[in-house]
Structure formats: structure tokens, C-alpha cells
A and B are shown apart, each in its own frame.
Chain A
Amino acid sequence: MMELLDSQRAAEKTLTTVLAVTGLDVDIRTPTGTVRVVNKVSFTAYQGQTLALLGESGCGKSMTAKAIAGLLDPVASVAGGVVALEGKDLNTMSARARRAVAGPSLGIVFQDALTALNPVYTVGTQLGEAFRIHRGMNKKQARLQAIELMRRVGIPEPEVRASAYPHQFSGGMRQRILIAMAVALSPRLLIADEPTTALDVTVQAQIMALLRRLREEENMAVVLITHDLAVVAEEADNVVVMYAGNVVERGPVATVFSAPTHPYTKGLLESVPTHAVRGDELSSIPGSPPELKNIPAGCVYQDRCPMVAAICRETRPELRQTGENQFSACHFSDVLVTQAGNPTNDHSLTSPQLEDNQ
């Protein structure tokens, strides 16, 4: 595992690592025993780039994010691995030391903006709180900072709106306030957990544009957790595809999406109704993800995989390099690599990131 990451770092020497997660395990204790919901997850997030954690519900992507942020439920616990934020391992720190480090340098945006804000305080007060606690400002200074922050995230009339309560804002505006809170102390790392899932398409475009702009301005690393392939394709530089608690594929978005080297990634990409014509049969993945407490021995994807063979039932494949910075946990990734080289593949996604036209 470590060797792989090292080789990856060597290949991208110019990039500054902000977050390095290595072999992260998370367990949940349930009445019927301990269940591993995140298994040996490793990835690296670089400054000024967006890393996407992609997966379907229950795949462990949110658990991974919560483990990084130290926000796990009491029934869940980190069972192993290293979470290094700017070189400092958060897992081995005391809770107090962790707050001192992670408080200012790690920001998080949640999906549900209404429950993430306290309904009895004005947004100005809530936004100013970070400045009062970490920067030792007085109320007045903090409020001015809060207003400045609201202006930065595009809330109209911030002087007036700072005195409003969370319920007086629309969904999109609340999400902007959450983002403002997360970036208040100029964090090095911003974790965005499904930030636009509850929002409409036109508002999603606004929020994504805002996140992109802030990332450039602050030069921070963004970890974007989502289930939406199109959002990943447009917003992220690197992607980590998770399935049933495991990383099944990892690499730059452009290569992973144009030439997937894991059958799950391939299946997902083909399930998106983009190329299909009206009435055409969509290719779908049969079955549904395994329950985390009954994950089969061997490959986690074996029950739905079209390429399954005897070896998949016995040994769980390790992540192996399949391309430049691309890794896949599949016994037959070589086959997929060769297939991807063929012109029959219709996912010829090679063009670079979308320009921000805001």
C-alpha cells in the first residue's frame, strides 16, 4: 500500500499533499457483531485540486469523510490506518490537539444545510463564531468578518441578511452559508459531503461554481463526496471509486472515466443514460450492493460482476497499478486495460476540465 502511494507521490512531485489517508479502517458495532464499513481506504488529496469520493449509498464514502473529520457516531470507530492532514496524523492525536489542528485547517460542508445550522441564532452570529473562538475577535469584529464572508459566497445584501435566521433563507442560500462557515478560517482541506444533492439543477450549478472559485482563491484541497458521475466528471481532478466499503478504483478522472479498469466503474459509467437513444435498453448492473455485514470473502463485487471467475470467490484483489496514477482492485484489470485500448470503447472522454464561465 505504502509503496503505491509513494510511487504516486513521486509521479506528481509538483503537487503539494494536503491530506494523505492510508489504510483507513472504520468499524461499526451492531447487535449482531462488528461490521467493517470502511476497509483499507487510501488516497491523497492535493492542494488546489478536487478529489471525488464516488459511490452509491452505503458504500462507505460518508463514513470515510466523517472519520477524516473526526465526526463519527459513537457506535463507529476508526480501527486502523493513518489520516495525515499536512503531515500530522489526526488519528493518534488527543481530542484536544485534534481540535486545535483540524478546527482551523479542515472545513466541512454537509448535505442538509437546514439541520447543520442552529435555528435559534442568526446566521451572522453563527458565521462569526469561528472568528471568536479561533481568532479571538470580539463580537463586532466577528460580525464584520461574517458579513464579508457572506459577500464572498454571493449572498445579496449581507449587512441585512446577517441578522436573519437560517429558516429565512432558501436551500441554495443556506448551502452558501454552510460553505462560508466551512471556509471561514481559510482551511487547507474542504470536505463537501453531497453538497448539492438536495438542490435543483440551476442552483447546483451556482454552488459548484462557488466551490470552484473558492478552491482557486484559497488554494485548498477539496474532497467532494457524491454519487453523481456527471458532477465528478465536471468538478474533480482525481476520483476514488468505492464499493461496499472498499476502494475498487482510483486515479485521475479523465482516465478513470474514459478507460475504467474495474468492472464496477465500467458498469456505473454504462448505466448513465447519456448515449442511449429513447427506448434503448440501458446497460445496468444486475442485483444490488451486498449488505455490509455479509460481505463475501474474496472480491466485494463478485456477485454482480460479469467477469467473475473462481479466483474472485477466494482472494480479495489488492489495488494494482493499471495506468499512470490509476489503480484498480480487480484480478482481471489487465483484460480491461487491453479492452480500453480498443476503439470499440465509446467513452472517449479525453477533453480537459470544464472551464468556469461564471
Chain B
Amino acid sequence: MSTHTMANPGKNVLEVQDLSKSFTVSAGSGGSRKLKALDGISLSVGKGETLGLVGESGCGKSTLARTLMMLETPDSGSVRFDGADPFAFKGKELLAWRRRVQMVFQDPFASLNARMSAGQIISEPFATHKDLYRGSAARSKRLNELLDLVGLRSTDAYKTPQEFSGGQRQRIGIARALALGPDLLILDEPVSALDLSVQAQVLNLLNELQQQLGVSYIFISHDLSVVRHVTDRVAVMYLGRIIETGVTEDVFDRPLHPYTAALMSASPKLDPAMRPAKRIVLKGELPSPLDPPSGCRFRTRCWKAQDICASRRPEATGLGADGNISLGLPTIGPAERAHMAECHFPVSSPAEAGLVPA
């Protein structure tokens, strides 16, 4: 895969700095409370690159996706798409931006309107973007192109979603997202609802599409084996923050953050050779996002937690090229490929994480 060498390392499609979003949750008679769904998220996506977002339910990864799609408005922070802030766009500019960022949803059943045919669903975006493909001939040509692209027959356009299997429905969802020719696709758990044998088909399709069209992906998933297979870089989220980020192999094989180590260790492996020498089973469960722990958010479940973890939020810690752990925030640019984690006591070696025998 060519993206591994990152043809254009300086060229980022998307840059997000310090993005925060909170929701107001009514707490009965006691008034309302703030739920901080995103708490200072920074990330970037290069051209033709796939960034994985990993985390457990409630960590804020879906809110992040919705905010990037402008379905939610952030409280603070900046989003730069090709250097411009989409939240400042209006009218035509906004519509033009919409074409460049599209989304594929998790549930291939709920994300398609059962009252429309596959053809109507895929060409739905053209109704809003009227000047993109003028005339019904151009549109039906584009529709056939899209059907072909995702591996459906042109006669499938007349069928309703109920007549398709789960995998085929997800192909329709992907075709709809590609209809406007986007540069960035946000894939929110695109294969979680699919059976294993079909999942591989859809992952292969996504891979082919990326090579063919050069689109960037943000790939959200809780399935670590899938994320490892499809992403270039990965960001691990916990309670609204990215706690570790880096090139996929680095994060998977040499996790710095104890939470990442626990995630890698806990996910079941088919191949006994890949199984951790010693499995870390975390104690307790995810704290309520309404009342996150002070300092480091992971400290309540961390086996390395000490007093300082409760009092001070850890700075991002990076593993330098020389292999030493250094402090400092990553700057946007080539350094974004650096392997960083927010922890006072990062895991020093794969052996400590139990991933290889000590």
C-alpha cells in the first residue's frame, strides 16, 4: 500500500486542534449537568491516509465523528479542512465543503430509508447538489458508475433495501457516501454489524476504493484486529480524550499507555502465537463521563496509578527516535507520526504490557 510511505507528508486533509464538546444532561430536579464528550481532541489526517479511532463505548468517538461532519457544533477548538474552517462556511461554500467530507454509518439497516430504492438512496445527494450532475442522463450514468464501483449490478438500483443482505446494504451506504466524490470518508464502525465472511468483502472494497480514488479515511472501530489491518495511524480514545496516538504498528506492538496495553491484551486472538504472555484484565468499568476522575482519567482502573495521577493530568509523552521517552506536545507536521501518550508512567516495553514474554 502506497500510503505507507505517505506520498505527501506535509499535506494534511484535516487538522483538528483542541476540540471540545459537551452536552447538557438534565439530572432530574437537581438541574442539569455537563457531560464532556470531547475534551481537547487534536488529530490530523493526511491525504490518502487512514486514521483509526479506537475506544470503548462512551469514549466519545462517535461524537467526534458527528462533530467533524458538522452534525454537532463544538464548544471550542478548531477544525481545519485544507486550511479552512468549515464551521465558518455558509451557503455555497458550505455545500461545496459537504461534498468533500462524507460518512458511512454503522448500521446498514437503519442508515438506509426503507421506503426508497437503492438507486434513489445513492442518488439522494444529487437532489441537494443540483449543479454537480446536470440532467437525468448524467445522473443515471454516475449512478451506474457508483454501483459498479462498490460491486453492485446496475439492476440492483431498482431494489429496495430489504431485498439486500447486510453486506450489500453497506455497499449501498458506501456508494451514497462516494456519490459526491469526497476527499475524506468518516467510517463509523462500517463492518461491526456484518458477519465475518462478509466483513472481509467490505474491508477489501474499502481498501480498493482508497487505492483507486485516493480518499482519506477516518476509521472508527472497536475491533482491534480490523483496525490493525486497515489503518496507517491510530488514535486511542478514553473518556473524551485521545490518550495515545502513533503509527499503527507502534501502538499495537509497543503501547505506551497502560489503557492501550490493556486493550491490546484483552482482545481475543485467533492465533495462539499472538496471544499475550500474561493477560491484563482491568479492574472495574468505565467511570461515568458525567463525573470523570480528576487528573488522569484512567487512574481508577490503572495498575500503575500513584498519587500524582489523581492530582495532575499527564502531559503528552513521546517516544523519541532515539528510543528515549521525551515530554512535549506533538506539533502539526511530520512529527504527527510520532508515537505519543498521555501518561505519567508510560509502559516501558512490550514485555511490561504482557504482549511478549519478559
Contact = CB atoms under 8 A, between A and B. Distances in A.
A282 B271 contact: no
A282 B203 contact: yes
Nearest to B301: A202
Contacts of A200: 56-57, 222, 286
Interface in B155-203: 165-168, 195-201, 203
A206 B282 contact: yes
- Residues of B contacting A: mostly: helix
B229 interface: yes
A204 interface: yes
B207 interface: yes
B1 interface: yes
B204 A276 contact: no
Interface in A117-175: 170, 172-173
A340 B201 CA distance: 25
Contacts of B1: 278-279
A271 B207 CA distance: 15
Interface in B271-288: 271-275, 278-279, 281-282, 285-286
Interface string B201-232: 10110010000000000000010111011111
Interface stretch (B30-38, B39-47, B75-83, B259-267): B259-267
B272 A233 contact: yes
Contacts of B57: 200
Contacts of B279: 205, 354, 357-358
B196 A272 contact: yes
Interface in A163-202: 170, 172-173, 200-202
Q: For chain A, which range describes its interface: under 10, 10 to 19, 20 to 34, or 35 or more residues?
A: 35 or more
A146 B224 CA distance: 37
Given A200-B57, A273-B200, A278-B231, A205 B269 contact: no
Contact of B272 (A172, A235, A351): A351
Interface of B: 1, 3-4, 56-57, 165-168, 195-201, 203-204, 207, 222, 224-226, 228-232, 248, 262-263, 265-275, 278-279, 281-282, 285-286
14 contacts: A201-B56, A201-B224, A201-B263, A202-B56, A205-B265, A229-B196, A230-B268, A271-B196, A274-B274, A275-B271, A280-B229, A282-B229, A284-B197, A288-B166
